[in-house]
Structures are given as C-alpha cells and as structure tokens.
Amino acid sequence: MLLFVGLGNPGREHAKQRHNIGFMALDRIAEDHGFSPWREKFQGLLAEGRLGAEKALLLKPQTYMNLSGQSVGAALRFHKIEIAEVVVFHDELDLAPGKLRVKHGGGHAGHNGLRSIHQHCGEAYARVRMGIGHPGRKELVSGYVLHDFSKYDAQWLDDMLRGCSDGAAKLAAGDDAGFMNAVALRMAPPKPKKPRPAAQTAPPSEAPPLSEAQDEPAPSNPLDRLRRHFS
C-alpha cells in the first residue's frame, strides 16, 4: 500500500495559498481517480482508492504545516506502511513557478513540513517538489508562501495539478520518468503539425489559335511565296 501525502494548512483562509499546493494536488488526484470521500483520521483528512494496480491512501495533515509529521507517522504505524512507500507533494521555493521535480531521500532544505516528517518518520521517502518560485529575499518568504496564487499563476497551476493526476498511476508504480512526462505534456503540450500545402501546379497554357497565315506551312520557294502573297 502506498501513502501519498499533500502538505498545506487547514482552513478556508489557506486554501488558495502557495503553501497549500500539496493539498491541491491530492484533491485533483482524488477527484480524477474516483477515491473515497475525505474522512477525518490520523489528525488529517484521508481518502482511499487505487492508482493503476496499486492500492493507495491520500493524506492531508490537518495539524498545520509545522506538525505534519505527527499525522504522517500515525498513518504509517496504523497501516504498517514503510517510509519508502510514502510520496510527499509540497511547495518548492527553489524551483521556478511551473517547474516540478521528483526526489528520493535527502534533506528538508528548511521546509517546515518536511522537517517535521523527518523528525517523526525519517527521510527515506519520495518528494514531488512543486515549484512556486522565490520572492527574492529570505525575510519575504513567510508572507510569500502564505499568500494566494496570483491570476498570472492560474494557467500553469491548473496544468501542473492535472499533470500530477495524469501521471499518478505511473508515480505509484515507481515510474518517475513516466510521471514527469505526464506533467510535461500538460505543461507544454506538443504543437499540432501544420498541414503541408498542396503542391501548386500551373494550369497548362493554351496555345494561341493559329492565324490564317499559320494554317499552312509557309512555302520555302521564293516564287511560291511571291505568288501566294498576291493571290
């Protein structure tokens, strides 16, 4: 069994904020893949379903970002899921808006939700790093991640979320490349090929009608030509 975790903060006031992109990804997956309704469990909201051949749980911790590991740890212990079977969807300041990467293990890079999961569960889990960009200065980060996505972000954000849903079964099967390809196809779909123009063929030119003088070949004998001229 797999556990997909989306990171964010509970409450309507946080629903559209950059920090909640992990929640948004799981909502899209749950809707598109026919998961069960969300129910309260493990200090979070839980949905159950299948991604391809894999049985999966979706978890949105409701502990606020800084305590996300409490909810994840409770789910792992109850279902006896190994940390390697966990995939966490989260916002990533170090990637430009619209960029996405998959990472296995490693540090938390200062992300408070990942930091909490490290503390409660360990670090050997997969992450889907969903780029939101950086405000430019460290002191601006808190306000930036707790601010709603702008209208400018709407198109790429919807494409990224749909791409995550499109590739969710690939991700569940361990096919990171297939998952990334599904996202890429949403973010930058191939342009339709333009039909090649039909070959232009010039209409056959019509030969001008023969004049009366051209009806018959001109005589070659000078006397015959003179006789014909006065006839």
Give the CATH number, domain containing residue 153.
3.40.50.1470
| Residue 55: per-residue pLDDT | 97
The one-letter amino acid at 176: D
Prediction pTM value: 0.82
218 domain-assigned: no
Question: How would you write 169-202 as a 3-class SS string?
Answer: HHHHCCCHHHHHHHHHHHHCCCCCCCCCCCCCCC
Residues 6+ apart with CB under 8 A from 165: 25, 28, 29, 31, 32, 33
Provide the domain limits for residue 111.
Answer: 2-187
Q: In this structure, are residues 6 and 114 in contact, taking their beta carbons and an 8 Å threshold? A: no
Residues serving a catalytic function are 19
145 domain-assigned: yes
User: Interior CA angle at 113 toward 33 and 58, to 5°?
Assistant: 20
Per-residue pLDDT for the chain (231 aa), expressed as one digit of tens each?
999 999 999 999 999 999 999 999 999 999 999 999 999 999 999 999 999 999 999 999 999 999 999 999 999 999 999 999 999 999 999 999 999 999 999 999 899 999 999 999 999 999 999 999 999 999 999 999 999 999 999 999 999 999 999 999 999 999 999 999 999 999 987 777 777 766 665 555 555 554 444 445 555 565 565 566 555
Nearest in space to 88 (alpha carbons), one of 77, 76, 96: 76
- β-strand partners of 88: 5, 127
Number of domains present in the structure of the chain: 1
